[in-house]
Amino acid sequence: MKISDFRAYKAALKKISMVTCYDYTSAMILNSSQIDCVLVGDSAAMTMHGHDSTLPISVEQMSQHTAAVKRGAPSKFIVGDLPFLSYRKSLSENVEAAGEIMRAGAQSVKLEGARGNLELIRHLVNSGIPVMGHLGLTPQSIHQIGGFKVQGKLPPDAEVILDDSLALQKAGCFALVLECVPQALAQKISEALEIPTIGIGAGVGCDGQVLVWQDLLGMNPNFKPKFLRKYADLHQVIQAALNAYDQDVKGLKFPSKEESY
Ligand code: KIV
């Protein structure tokens, strides 16, 4: 997939599949799949580093995750997240943060929210950096929002999200993530925009869907939000493999003669 395909998919009513990824080995698997594009999300702060929000991750860490994913999935379109506050500084610092993610191997960056970001988005786009927007539940604002909860349920809040999505399109975003908004609102926004929407917890009316790698593969049995479908139970698969190895080691069944020099 390349940048022009995002609008082309939407025009052809072809849905976009996106998944997050943060490391080389997973990216290698992803590269051999039919998934359209990959997000090196700042959710890495939670899934890879064990934090309880996305706030602690730095531009340097995001660059390292992006570079690892690029090495593993060189043929996929990569979106790299700009982390918390990295794009809320001076214009030159914001551009430098985006440049670092791009130099690490991303083909575009994603940032959260519209208000206060529109000038930067125009500047990045005019500098050759494609920008993906992100509205609805914006995890970098979790302390402002007051928790991981559905956004835009009340008509005035829904109106703000719709207005912001139009503003992001006008500023030059090539696609928009809609996170945890009612299905009807996501559908309305998707119909109002020429750029594709990519939903997570936003219903089937979006132009594409994104899920977090660990969630879609069932790696964390304790995480089960309503919107999530687990396509595997890797927690169980990996745990069983580890226990089988443990038993073999302790029972002198591993390594065998054939597995020894
Ligand atoms: O960081 C992330 O994983 C994201 C997705 C939830 C869209 O932004």
Question: Domain check: are 220 and 238 in the same one?
Answer: no
Same domain, 95 and 217: yes
For the entire predicted model, the pTM comes to: 0.97
Please indicate, yes or no, whether residues 257 and 140 belong to a single structural domain of this protein.
Answer: no
Residues 237 and 224 reside in one and the same domain: no
Q: For 25-47, write each residue's pLDDT tens digit.
A: 999 999 999 999 999 999 999 99
Atom 8 (ligand 1) nearest CA:
41
Q: Which amino acid is it at 113?
A: G
Say yes or no: 21 and 138 in one domain. Answer: yes
47 lines ligand 1 (CB under 6 A): no
What pLDDT does 116 receive? 96
* Residue 195 shares a structural domain with residue 219: yes
Among 40, 81, 148, 211, which is best to mutate for testing ligand 1, by the most ligand atoms less than 8 A from CB?
81
pLDDT in tens, 169-218: 999 999 999 999 999 999 999 999 999 999 999 999 999 999 999 999 99
- Based on the structure, what is the number of domains in the chain? 2
Residues 254 and 221 grouped into a single domain = no
Q: What is the pLDDT of residue 76?
A: 98
71 and 199 co-located in one domain: yes
* Domain of 133, in residue numbers: 3-230
* Max intra-chain CA distance, the chain: 70
Q: Tell me whether residue 179 is one of the annotated catalytic residues.
A: yes
212 and 238 both lie in a single domain? no
Judge if 9 and 37 occupy the same domain.
Answer: yes
Confidence band, pLDDT 50/70/90 cuts, at residue 112: very high
Q: What is the pLDDT of residues 213-243, one digit of tens each?
A: 999 999 999 999 999 999 999 999 999 999 9
Q: Exactly one of 60, 179, 191, 258 is catalytic; name it.
A: 179
223 and 239 in a single domain? The answer is no
What CATH number is given to the structural domain containing 209? 3.20.20.60
Q: Are 65 and 107 in contact (CB under 8 A)?
A: no
What would the pLDDT profile of 91-104 be if each residue is shown by its tens digit?
A: 999 999 999 999 99
Ligand 1 pocket residue status of 44, Cβ below 6 Å: no
Residues 102, 150, single domain; the answer is yes
pLDDT tens digits, residue range 145-170?
999 899 999 999 999 999 999 999 99
User: 156's torsion region: left (phi>0), alpha (psi -120 to 50) or beta?
Assistant: alpha
